[in-house]
Amino acid sequence: MSAPLPDNAAGPDLEEMAALLERSGAYRVQRKLAPLVTRKAPADVQLRTGLFVDTETTGLDVGRDEIIELAMVPFAYGIDGEIYAVGAPFEALRQPSKPIPREITAITGITDAMVEGQSIDPCAVAAFAEPAALVIAHNAAFDRCFLERFSEVFITKPWACSMSEIDWAAEGYEGSKLGYLAAGAGFFYDRHRATHDCHAAIALLAKRHPGTGRTGLEQLLERARTPSWRIWAENSPFDLKDVLKARGYRWNGEGIGGPRAWYIDVSADQKDAELAFLKREIYQVEIEILVRRIDAYDRFSARV
């Protein structure tokens, strides 16, 4: 039996051991997510406040389901796409009007006992979010809809999506879900709780990725600043729906934010070609087509 190490003896250098395993080519080492280190921004870099948000809900239907957990993590970023500091989070639980479905508890770990008697103050949420120059979520189309219903402050803010507005495939990742991205970036964390998800996503935004050598945030800001165009294929022939679907059109069955019709979002340099396609292949006549300009202030909102 080996003798125990004295109290002042140095233990094994875990990072050196991890590096040795990685150099062997036979192992990949996952590191636990560590807090980002605060650093001073260069004098010529203008700093802004970003806010990463994440919600856990009783389901996917924004009209019926409810928020049961909200986390908001502020961070200081430069217009150069670098993150310089991460602030203390806002995190709160909320008791919904009905029991939490078992499948939601299985995913999130949030039980009825944990949320009993808990509430989230909309005024406190609005005050915390007000300084943000940009709100980001991983699947903003989901979180924005729930949060706009909860507090009007989220209607007034520009939004960005770390899932859809970064070309993760071009960076060498196999998927865009947060867990896949974290594993591909070499770290793990306690998943499916709102604050942990926020910190993991911020780490991915701060990281320089192998495909382009750019930070995730730099790419995100570039996409968020660029307007897009929503084109509606109103009253399109039913027998051509598969043509539209194959081209990337989506069906707005609820008529929220526009007509009950197929639609697609395109960039400015794709707009004229898409309008020409609809007139030539779908309507086969000259027709006025409904088009709307979309920017970060209304992108991902149910109001569009």
Dihedral angle over CA of 290, 294, 299, 304, nearest 10: -30
- The backbone region for 110, taken as left when phi is positive above 0, alpha when psi lies in -120 to 50, beta otherwise, is beta
Q: Do the Cβ atoms of 203 and 36 come closer than 8 Å?
A: yes
Which residues, 6+ apart, have CB-to-CB distance to 9 below 8 Å? none
**Which superfamily does CATH assign the domain made up of 32-224 to?**
Ribonuclease H-like superfamily/Ribonuclease H (3.30.420.10)
The structural domains of the chain, with segments of one domain joined by +, span 32-224, 228-294
pLDDT, position 9: 45
Based on the number of CB atoms within 10 Å of its own CB, is 35 exposed (0-12), middle (13-18) or buried (19 or more)? Answer: exposed
Longest dimension (CA), the chain: 88
Identify the CA nearest to 15 among candidates 214, 205, 173, 186: 186
Q: How much is the pLDDT for 78?
A: 97
Give CA–CA dist 275/273, Å, rounded: 6
Tokens representing 197 are 């998800």
- Position 279 scores a pLDDT of 97
175-194 tens-digit pLDDT:
999 999 999 999 999 877 89
pLDDT < 70: residue spans in the chain: 1-12
pLDDT score for 272: 97
